[in-house]
Chains A and B, each alone.
Chain A
Amino acid sequence: MIKITKTGWIYIVLTIVVGFAAVNTANNLIYILASALLSYMLVSGIFGRGNIHALSIQVEFPEEIYARTPTPITVRLTNPRRFLPAMLIRVVTTGRTVLFPYVAAASSSDAVIQVTFPHRGRCPIDPIRLASPFPFNFFTRFRTLDQPGELVIFPKPRNWAEVHARVEMNRRGGEQSVDRLGDAGDILAIRSYLPGDPLKHIHWKSTAKTGRIQTKEFAAVDEPDLVIAFDQVPVPDLEQRISCVTFRLLQLARGPRAFGLLIGGRLYPPRRSTAHKRALLRVLATYDQG
């Protein structure tokens, strides 16, 4: 696709004037000028086409994109041509434009753009448009590259501290000591002091009894799994509720507990993995969007 620029129109007018002068003076040197101007128009078309030809674009999105949060997106322009460099390529993707002034032959160049997606949920990726005014800014030539697929924009996380206390439903109830060494459960054993043991763990009574320093050993406390019951979160506004739950999920993902989600009558059992976290975020992102 081609769009004629303002400079292009000026050039066309100039060519017409020179052509008129040539025909009406029958001066062959002016004919040479007119032919040169015309052939330049044609050749600039050929070079413009060649400049945009065979280029490929990879747009790399981060794994997690949150709504209303600036997200860096990497745009990579690859020029596989053997001799011809790519000049002045404008890439339009996700509503933003990035300019690649010069990409040498058989090489690629990266550019990072900050994009903010306004809404959570599925977001189809628009076809990428390449545009270039090269070589003469007479015409802007466009090419559209299909990049099939869609993005899922996660909801914007929102800290709402007072809600958190009420939203967790402990499935087993309370903490449980387990048969593992830790530092928060019941006393499991008493042993001789080893350098490095914290002072507060010294069992003074048995130290006094034995005359040698003794240390307490504690059982570990197992954090119980958590399931967030989405519908019971006491935030009336749906979007705000989704944001709060997102925040909490992200918080939990950093902790040691497994976490799950009960949403719309469906239970996502507790697990602890990045993939699980993203799956839950995706559920939240697309919740109530049909």
Chain B
Amino acid sequence: MIRVRDLLQWVTMAAVLLGFGAVCRYVHPYAALAFIGLGVAAWLLRRSRTRQPARWLLNTLAVLVVVVSALRVSPDYLVEPILEGILLLVAIKLLEARLPRDYLQIHALCVFQLLGSALISLSMVFLLFFIPLAFLLTVSLILLTFEAADQDPHLPRPAVLKIFVQAGLICLLSVPIMVVIFVILPRTNYPILMFLNQSGSGHTGFSERVQLGEVAAIQEDNSVVFRAAMAVIDPDQLYWRGIVLDHFDGVAWTRSDSAERPYGAVRVDGRPVQQTIYLEPYGNKFLFGLDKPIKIQGRSAARGEDLTYQERHGIFQRIRYQVDSMVGAKMQVENPDQHYGLQLPPDIPEELRQLADRLGAGLGPREKVAAFVRYLRGGQFRYALSELPVSDQPLADFLLRHHQGNCEYFAASLAVLLRLGGIPSRLVGGYKGGYYNSTGGYYLVLQKHAHIWTEAYLNDLDWVRLDPTPAAGLQPADLYLRKFLTQARLLTDVLNYYWFRLIVDYDFQQQLQFLHRAREAVTTQSWRPWLSRLPLARALAVFVGLAALGLAGWELLRRRRRDPAVELAARFRARLGRRGYRMKPSEGLEEFVARIDSAPLQGRALDFVLALEPYLYGGQAFQKAHYRRLAKQLRGL
């Protein structure tokens, strides 16, 4: 026999540890230490069976914790103090846990811990804590029911096993119901407690000032910048435009006011490509889209003349938007500013001027561009991520002495050479490439893919993209892909993608869409072709079909294995059971029939029993025809 209270203590301990796991990343180390200390004390007290501390003492401590947590709350720092308070309350409750209601309170606090962690992070790690915690809380609640119903109950081992099985079944059965409730629970466009949701931390990313050599630091970061759901396209076209930098001070590139000019008349042609971008919080205001993004839906971002999109505030929440891009586009600007894209720092080294003059001597604009690009890609320059020239004159160092640098050096050099040659130019910051996940149908773009390229303004071609960075040599993203763990990460990223797409981003609009679609499907029966198109639905249908087939087969096998006479007798008993007659274990079939009140039923039952008995007791072989006849007789009862 197992004491329910002991089991309850173990399960509660496990639930508390899980709750702690869910929040330990967000609480102050001192709070975590205090929790661990109190938890160990509670455990030791229980082990040594010493008297628990007085309730008044613990209650005073709890009140103190609540007061301190409340005092620490501020508009910017809201959830963490509350979480720390809850964490300590759990530990205090562990010290005094004696009555079922104490355990119940601990479990409620665990739920609040999980809720708090959801306010801070939307990561899928939530599920890692949610699923086992749900199971443990289910077991605890069942055990608490036993505690409440009986005095210090003890249960046999099989009963305990059954409790765990039932808890598992309850969890499993809850899942489909949960999904339905999740989809239909009311949602609003104007949540009043939105401020409780914590902002995501921004990664190192592009800012409005890019110093030479800085992108190499961004490229060291493995974190995800965005996922772009779209069809696969030519890798050479995978330039994700984000920010345009047009002002160079000799060391860093910045964005001038003229770049911020609202969008005038720009004509773009090329091949249209649509994407849905799931952008992670990265701290800056620019939205990314496949070069050249002509329209962004789903956000109210201001579009500049240079086809960049700027939000009013930095992006600290995960966002979703649709982009319409023109790939391989020519971009025409009406009434261009004649001086735009020609600015150079006054102290530009003379040697750079001479280099530009030498390379572009006697050439027209197009030929000049080709000559500059040829020069940079010519082989004497090497792509490198370390030992980059960092000095007062980094470009001169790069072009004339070191001959090695990363994309910024190449792009900035080309832009400066172009400007020295009288051709308007600018830098475009964004990302190049991305890992395509064919399962999820999206490009995964990491900080590793950070890239800077050049745009030059040619009167007949307008703004054209020029990427002087040598294609040869492995870029950080390519190197990263070679690691085994990266492969695993890319495979599992599809889970992340669906987590955000289906769960985290599910909102009022999607709910409306879903309901609309469901109504349409019901009224027009349009779900049939839709079902056949959807791989998930198809897989589900196959699974349900197989499961039904398996169950039917099992039942058939079970019946087969059973003696047909015994099976008919069982069916007979079950049939009469439904009429309110239960056969006693000691009763014979005829005795049982004799108890039936209704004469016609009794007559029919007796006929059946008399026909069955030779097979049941007499060992007479059963023919198929006999079985069918008896089964028919049984149905007629």
Pick out which of these stretches binds chain A: B145-153, B394-402, B489-497. B145-153
How far, in angstroms, from A14 to B159 measured CA to CA in the complex?
Answer: 30
Chain B contact-residue range equals 35 or more
Contact A46 B158 (CB under 8 A): no
Q: Which of B138, B148, B177, B506 contacts A28 (CB 8 A)?
A: B506
**A114 interface residue, CB < 8 Å from B?**
no
Pick out which of these stretches binds chain A: B29-37, B191-199, B340-348, B423-431. B191-199
Pick out which of these stretches binds chain A: B6-14, B58-66, B118-126, B367-375. B118-126
Q: What per-residue 1/0 map shows which CB atoms of A33-71 lie under 8 Å from chain B?
A: 111101110111011000000001000000000000000
**A167 interface residue, CB < 8 Å from B?**
no
Task: Provide the residues of chain A in CB contact with B150, threshold 8 Å.
Answer: 88, 99, 101
**A134 interface residue, CB < 8 Å from B?**
yes
**A18 interface residue, CB < 8 Å from B?**
yes
Task: Provide the residues of chain A in CB contact with B192, threshold 8 Å.
Answer: 24
Pick out which of these stretches binds chain A: B180-188, B462-470, B479-487, B516-524. B180-188
Q: Which of A21, A39, A135 contacts B177 (CB 8 A)?
A: A39
How far, in angstroms, from A39 to B179 measured CA to CA in the complex?
Answer: 9
Shortest Cβ gap from B150 to chain A (Å): 6
How far, in angstroms, from A39 to B176 measured CA to CA in the complex?
Answer: 9
How far, in angstroms, from A7 to B628 measured CA to CA in the complex?
Answer: 54
Most chain B CB within 10 A, of A21, A26, A87, is at A26
Beta-carbon nearest neighbor of B186 in chain A: A23
Task: Provide the residues of chain A in CB contact with B163, threshold 8 Å.
Answer: 87
Task: Provide the residues of chain B in CB contact with A127, threshold 8 Å.
Answer: none
Contact A85 B503 (CB under 8 A): no
Contact A30 B118 (CB under 8 A): yes
Contact A25 B196 (CB under 8 A): yes
Contact B155 A27 (CB under 8 A): no
Beta-carbon nearest neighbor of A103 in chain B: B159
Task: Provide the residues of chain B in CB contact with A260, threshold 8 Å.
Answer: none
Pick out which of these stretches binds chain A: B166-174, B252-260, B609-617. B166-174
Contact A35 to B173, CB < 8 A, known contacts A85-B159, A135-B166 = no
**B329 interface residue, CB < 8 Å from A?**
no
Contact A25 B153 (CB under 8 A): no
Pick out which of these stretches binds chain A: B108-116, B378-386, B528-536. B108-116
Contact A25 B188 (CB under 8 A): no
Contact A21 to B149, CB < 8 A, known contacts A101-B155, A137-B144 = no
How far, in angstroms, from A269 to B505 measured CA to CA in the complex?
Answer: 91
Q: Which of B130, B134, B188 contacts A23 (CB 8 A)?
A: B188
Contact A90 B115 (CB under 8 A): no
**A155 interface residue, CB < 8 Å from B?**
no
**A123 interface residue, CB < 8 Å from B?**
no
Chain A contact-residue range equals 35 or more
Task: Provide the residues of chain A in CB contact with B148, threshold 8 Å.
Answer: 7, 133, 137
**A157 interface residue, CB < 8 Å from B?**
no
How far, in angstroms, from A36 to B506 measured CA to CA in the complex?
Answer: 17
Contact B153 A101 (CB under 8 A): yes
**A268 interface residue, CB < 8 Å from B?**
no
Contact A88 B149 (CB under 8 A): yes
How far, in angstroms, from A51 to B122 measured CA to CA in the complex?
Answer: 38
Contact B141 A104 (CB under 8 A): no
**B362 interface residue, CB < 8 Å from A?**
no
Contact A30 B191 (CB under 8 A): no
Contact B141 A85 (CB under 8 A): no
Contact A26 to B118, CB < 8 A, known contacts A47-B170, A85-B162, A136-B142 = no
Contact B170 A27 (CB under 8 A): no
Most chain A CB within 10 A, of B111, B185, B194, is at B185
**A121 interface residue, CB < 8 Å from B?**
no
**B178 interface residue, CB < 8 Å from A?**
yes
Contact A26 to B173, CB < 8 A, known contacts A21-B115, A33-B114 = no
**B582 interface residue, CB < 8 Å from A?**
yes
**B636 interface residue, CB < 8 Å from A?**
no
**A204 interface residue, CB < 8 Å from B?**
no
**A102 interface residue, CB < 8 Å from B?**
yes
How far, in angstroms, from A290 to B108 measured CA to CA in the complex?
Answer: 60
**B232 interface residue, CB < 8 Å from A?**
no
How far, in angstroms, from A44 to B104 measured CA to CA in the complex?
Answer: 17
Shortest Cβ gap from B135 to chain A (Å): 11
Contact B146 A30 (CB under 8 A): no
Contact B187 A25 (CB under 8 A): no
Contact B178 A39 (CB under 8 A): yes
**B504 interface residue, CB < 8 Å from A?**
yes
Contact B185 A135 (CB under 8 A): no
Contact A18 B191 (CB under 8 A): no
**B507 interface residue, CB < 8 Å from A?**
yes
Most chain A CB within 10 A, of B122, B145, B169, is at B145
Q: Which of A38, A99, A135 contacts B170 (CB 8 A)?
A: A135
Shortest Cβ gap from B189 to chain A (Å): 8
A-B residue pairs, 10 tightest by C-beta? A29-B118, A39-B177, A137-B145, A35-B181, A24-B193, A26-B191, A102-B159, A35-B182, A39-B178, A39-B174
Could you list which residues of chain B lie within 8 angstroms of chain A, going by C-beta atoms?
A: 104, 108, 111, 114-115, 118-119, 122, 126, 130, 134, 138, 141-142, 144-146, 148-150, 153, 155-156, 158-159, 162-163, 166, 169-170, 173-175, 177-179, 181-182, 185-188, 191-194, 196-197, 503-508, 582
Known interface pairs A44-B170, A88-B146; 8 further A-B residue pairs with C-beta atoms within 8 A, sorted by A's residue number: A21-B115, A32-B130, A35-B182, A43-B177, A85-B162, A102-B159, A135-B141, A137-B148
13 residue pairs of the A-B complex, CB under 8 angstroms, read: A21-B115, A23-B187, A23-B188, A25-B193, A26-B191, A31-B182, A38-B177, A39-B174, A39-B181, A40-B170, A56-B582, A133-B145, A137-B148
Could you list which residues of chain A lie within 8 angstroms of chain B, going by C-beta atoms?
A: 7, 10, 14, 18-19, 21-36, 38-40, 42-44, 46-47, 56, 85, 87-88, 90, 99, 101-102, 104, 133-137
